[in-house]
A = this chain, B = another copy of it.
Amino acid sequence: MYGHQSTRLLPDDFPQFFERAKGAYIWDLSGGRYLDLMCAYGPNLLGYGHETVDRAYIRQLESGDTMTGPSKIMVELAESLVELVSHADWAMFCKNGTDATTMAIMTARACTGRSMIIRAKGAYHGAAPWCNPNILGATAGDRADQIVCNYNDVASLEAAVELAGRNLAAILAAPFRHDVFVDQAPPNPTYAKRARELCDETGALLIVDEVRAGLRVARDSSWASLRVSPDLSCWGKCIANGHPISALVGSDKAREAAASIYVTGSFWFSAAAMAASVETLRIVRTSDYLERIQDLGDRLRRGLNAAATSHNIRLRQTGPSQMPLFLFDDDPELRQGFFWSSQMIQRGVYVHPWHNMFLCAAMTEADIDMAIDAADGAFNALRLHSGVLPAVKQLKRPSELRSTSEGKSVEH
């Protein structure tokens, strides 16, 4: 098993295969049922097997899906997305989040006639050779035109811009720090604003990669609340509630450049996932899904804090509460994280020891309370075993998945 759904880097008792998914739950091949705090690593926003979204998919499939041209639903979807995302004047659709981020840097390079991209060290922007966290199989050329800075560190961003000189095509940023293995962090407003200013000063484009966070933290680009408008933003995962589609949207400034590059894919014009996305975005616009997952996230965070404290365990919960990451203090080898996650899965709650999680709108307060109960038991077990936690053989080192070569670094 390869990629982000491999259990190779998870505790041994994590099931690799699943039989069924419905609402907030997944079932493994032995019938074990789990409250799923991973939500398919993001795509499950409204609940697995969502009735009206899946019905929209099937209805479109029955009239036409992958055809010799797109359906008119493509225009409807583009209009929905442009209406939702305040900086967007146009939209292009693709399949993978990586397609969207790759199209974004191509658009920026075509727009500026320059090549250099600045991105933050440790940030995940996909699994193509230019951005893959594991450089095996990539060439030096794939990453030659990149500079890495430190997220939220204005001085390091400015140094990177200085280093890029007149060759800066784009600053590519995650909406908040959601790297693996380290605490999540909200965007420093000064950093976000400075990124916008530096792009304006140099003529480079600002790209925000919303693939992981989009629609879970806002009904708009994540930096809209900071009053920072990117030129391009990348969307994927949950924009069709699990059906395969991703998107690049942009402002008029980037329109001509986006139209000039040649990007395509066999299934990029398939209509069924677009119909599912139109319905997902309708629910996003008209329901309180966002407030509900925020409330559920807050409830979970409070409950876990109380349970951890009662067992004298220091748990760090970071990131937006609806996209939480749990790390334990004094746990450099993740022994506590792996043991506790294993205890949770045994209690019917799927959590992740080093990747951020995701809440969905199909969860209820009762589900969250059940997770808190499970956590209480897992914390208790952790306390009882604290002196004798097994080593985590899955991870040679926690940095295993971090990039060992991300282009030029301003720290060098």
Interface residues of A, Cβ cutoff 8 Å to B: 1-5, 7, 15-22, 26-27, 29, 36, 38-44, 48-49, 54, 57-58, 61-72, 74-75, 92, 95-99, 102, 105-107, 109-110, 115, 127-130, 132-134, 136-145, 211, 236-237, 242-244, 246, 257-270, 273, 350, 401
Known interface pairs A102-B128, A244-B267, A265-B96; A5-B70 also in contact (CB < 8 Å):
yes
A133 to B258, CA, bound (A): 16
Assuming the contacts A18-B71, A350-B68, asked whether A262 and B5 have C-beta atoms less than 8 A apart, the reply is no
Chain B residue numbers with a CB within 8 Å of A26 are 64, 67-69
Within 8 Å CB of A66, what residues of B?
40, 43-44, 242-244
Kindly state the separation between the CA atoms of A62 and B107 in the bound complex, as whole angstroms. Answer: 38
Decide: A132 near B96, CB < 8 A? Known: A48-B67, A139-B145, A141-B142: no
22 A-B residue pairs with Cβ-Cβ distance under 8 Å, sorted by A, are A2-B259, A3-B262, A5-B268, A5-B269, A17-B70, A18-B71, A19-B63, A19-B64, A26-B68, A36-B67, A39-B68, A40-B68, A43-B66, A57-B61, A95-B96, A102-B129, A107-B137, A109-B136, A115-B141, A137-B260, A139-B144, A246-B266
In the bound complex, do residue B140 and residue A141 qualify as a contact, i.e. CB atoms below 8 Å apart?
yes
Contact of A5 (CB < 8 Å), options: B18, B38, B61, B264: B264
Q: Are B261 and A136 in contact (CB under 8 A)?
A: yes
Complex CA gap A27/B67 in Å reads 10
Contact of A130 among B105, B110, B129 (CB under 8 A): B129
Give A139 Cβ to nearest chain B Cβ, in Å: 5
Contact B61 A40 (CB under 8 A): no
> What is the total number of copies of this protein in its complex?
2
Q: CA–CA, A141 to B4, complex, Å? A: 27
For A41, what are the chain B residues with a Cβ–Cβ distance below 8 Å? 68, 266
Cβ distance A362 to chain B, nearest Cβ, rounded Å: 14
Given A110-B136, A142-B142; A68-B266 close (CB under 8 Å): no
* Measured CA separation A307–B160 after assembly (Å): 65
A136 to B114, CA, bound (A): 11
Q: State whether B129 touches A106 (Cβ < 8 A).
A: yes
For the complex, give the distance between the alpha carbons of A17 and B102 in Å: 26
> In the complex the two chains form, is B69's CB within 8 Å of A127's CB?
no
| Measured CA separation A267–B99 after assembly (Å) | 12
Which residue of the partner chain, among B36, B71, B128, B145, contacts A141 with CB atoms under 8 Å? B145
Residues of B within 8 A of A75 (CB): 17
Least CB distance, A116 to chain B, in whole angstroms: 9
Residues of chain B with a CB closer than 8 A to A267's CB: 43, 95-96, 242-244
